[in-house]
Amino acid sequence: MKRILLFVCVLILSSAATHAAKPLEITLRVNKSAGETYRAGEKIIVTVRASMPCHVQLVYHDAAKQNFLIFPNNGSAADGRVDGTKDIVLGRGTEVDGFEFEVTAPFGGEMLRAYASTRPLPKPAGDVLDGGMVRLTGALDALDVAFHDQAFKAGAQLTSATVLIKTAPAEIAKGARDIPGTESRTTFAAPRIFGLVVGVSRYASAGIKSLRYADADARMVADFLQAPEGAGIPKERLRVLLNEDATRDNVLDAIRGFLAGTTRNDLVFIYFAGHGITSPEKNATYFLSTDANLSDLARSAVDQAEITTLLTERVKAGKVVFFLDACHGGGLGLTGVRMRGANTVLSGKLLTELLSKKNGTAFLTASRSMEQSQEGARWGGGHGVFTYRLVEGLRKAGDLNGDGRVTIDELAEYVGDAVKKDTDGRQHPELKGHFDNELVLSILR
């Protein structure tokens, strides 16, 4: 009874203290109307918006009576700070640290509750899961009381919003009713980030001209992907193949084995730096692995057709971002082989097949067809211009609107403008694919 009375007092006093101030409001909605049922396999998209700058916490309560703090997470400010001028959208899986909420059996009723406060709220205790989500150890009622107590002590406004959600099997026979008392569980799948980085400067064949900085480019990309201030990919989710390690078999094995461990919630970065050529006789395009044999490209180089097959059939990741910095100028000096610059490896079937079979795939290439990708000491002491500007953009320069995040569109715009300027208009990076324009590739922490 003492706790109940305190709770009532908190509500009254908090209301009196903030009556004269502009009221803080928060709206919470999902992608189905009230009363509609989410079926197995469907995704729940959550949208939250506050009326002013404040601190937000969002809790999901499932029918098994488990509570999950899903905002703030690794993709937000640690204290849940928002500016109040735009929606917070969770469940699309388009952000590096976003979530996808897929409904699975068993089924029943669930609830979302959003809290907004003009002062920071205490972070509830629990077990931290992937992506920064927390499985709470306390009950939702206790959380209500704790948040109101904190708001009262800090003289802050506090408001909340609640949405009820019902889940059910994908198909129910006509006239049948849901089985009462069945528990529900919604799968909260935090996306993981995987990386495959390949860079070849040295080739076993004397007929292939070595590059100077392709391996250095690959190391720079790998360093960014691993760094906490970059993508923060753990070692077990990053495969780096440089020079002698970048054989045809190793590259293909990395895709068919290592990347086959992804799920549709995951994001994959693939980076290739080196020579790429097209063979008119074979009507095929290849990325030249370190052991490529020019007299037998089909069995010694990485065929675009094999990349297509593996990415569509073996790699389950819902989002694949492919960076390609091929043919860093110089030239192969080959007869019967056309050199096309970056789009060499992505010409023809690779691009067409992947775009027709795998949505969520973005290609950012170093140059247009028939252009060569330049490298030199002027870029960071020795890099390809495309990769140098690419990493620069991912680290900070690509945040064109200043919101602390770099989207695929922002990155392509920054890299395109910078590379064009650096090369006096002789090299033009291109972005192609089927993807969410707001796909976030890096978050400035």
Read off the CATH number of the domain in which 125 is found.
2.60.40.2550
279-288, 318-327, 395-404: which range is least confident on average? 279-288
Q: What is the pLDDT of residue 129?
A: 79
Mean pLDDT of 17-29: 72
Q: CB within 8 A of 376, min separation 6: which ones?
A: 213, 382, 385
Determine the structural domain holding residue 287 and report its residue range.
193-443
Query: The CATH number of the domain where 284 resides is what?
Result: 3.40.50.1460
86-95, 355-364, 404-413: which range is least confident on average? 355-364
Look at residue 74 and tell me if it is in a domain. Answer: yes
Look at residue 6 and tell me if it is in a domain. Answer: no
Q: What is the pLDDT of residue 202?
A: 93
Strand pairing of 267-274 and 319-326?
parallel
Q: What is the pLDDT of residue 51?
A: 93
Residue that is last in its domain, among 122, 155, 189: 189
Look at residue 2 and tell me if it is in a domain. Answer: no
Look at residue 139 and tell me if it is in a domain. Answer: yes
pTM for the whole structure:
0.62
pLDDT band at 173 (very low <50, low <70, confident <90, very high): very low
Q: What is the pLDDT of residue 219?
A: 97
CA-angle at 354, arms to 352 and 357, nearest 5°: 105
Higher pLDDT, 387 or 286: 387
Look at residue 435 and tell me if it is in a domain. Answer: yes
Same domain, 270 and 160: no
Q: What is the pLDDT of residue 187?
A: 53
Same domain, 358 and 373: yes
Q: What is the pLDDT of residue 78?
A: 87
pLDDT single digits (tens) 220-253:
999 999 988 778 899 999 999 999 999 999 999 9
Same domain, 185 and 254: no
Q: What is the pLDDT of residue 445?
A: 63
Same domain, 207 and 354: yes
Out of 57-66, 343-352, 414-423, the most confident range is: 414-423
Strand pairing of 134-136 and 126-128?
antiparallel
Higher pLDDT, 252 or 172: 252
Same domain, 158 and 280: no
Q: What is the pLDDT of residue 215?
A: 95
Residues 341 and 428: beta-carbon distance below 8 Å: no
Same domain, 140 and 280: no
Q: CB within 8 A of 267, min separation 6: which ones?
A: 96, 191, 192, 193, 194, 317, 318, 319, 320, 321
Count CA atoms within 13 Å of residue 185 on its CB side.
6
Same domain, 105 and 203: no
Mean pLDDT of 127-136: 83
Mean pLDDT of 10-15: 35
Whether the predicted pLDDT of 354 surpasses 60: no
Share of residues in the chain with pLDDT > 70 (%): 80
- Looking at 254-303, list the stretches that DSSP marks H as alpha helix, in order from N- to C-terminal side: 297-300
Look at residue 13 and tell me if it is in a domain. Answer: no
Q: Report the alpha-carbon distance of residue 1 to residue 13 in Å, rounded.
A: 18
DSSP line for 91-152: SS--STT--EEEEESS--EEEEEEEEESSPPPPPPEEE-GGG-EEESS-HHHHHHHHHHHHH
Look at residue 5 and tell me if it is in a domain. Answer: no
DSSP structural state of residue 177? -
Mean pLDDT over the full length of the chain: 80
Look at residue 4 and tell me if it is in a domain. Answer: no
Show contacts of 169-178: CB within 8 Å, 24+ apart: 169/39, 169/40, 169/105, 169/107, 170/39, 170/40, 170/41, 171/39, 178/107, 178/108
Out of 326-330, 357-361, 364-368, the most confident range is: 364-368
Whether the predicted pLDDT of 175 surpasses 60: no
Q: What is the pLDDT of residue 359?
A: 63
Tally of domains in the chain: 2
Same domain, 215 and 318: yes
Q: Report the alpha-carbon distance of residue 375 to residue 346 in Å, rounded.
A: 20
- Looking at 286-429, list the stretches that DSSP marks H as alpha helix, in order from N- to C-terminal side: 297-300, 304-313, 343-346, 349-357, 385-392, 408-422
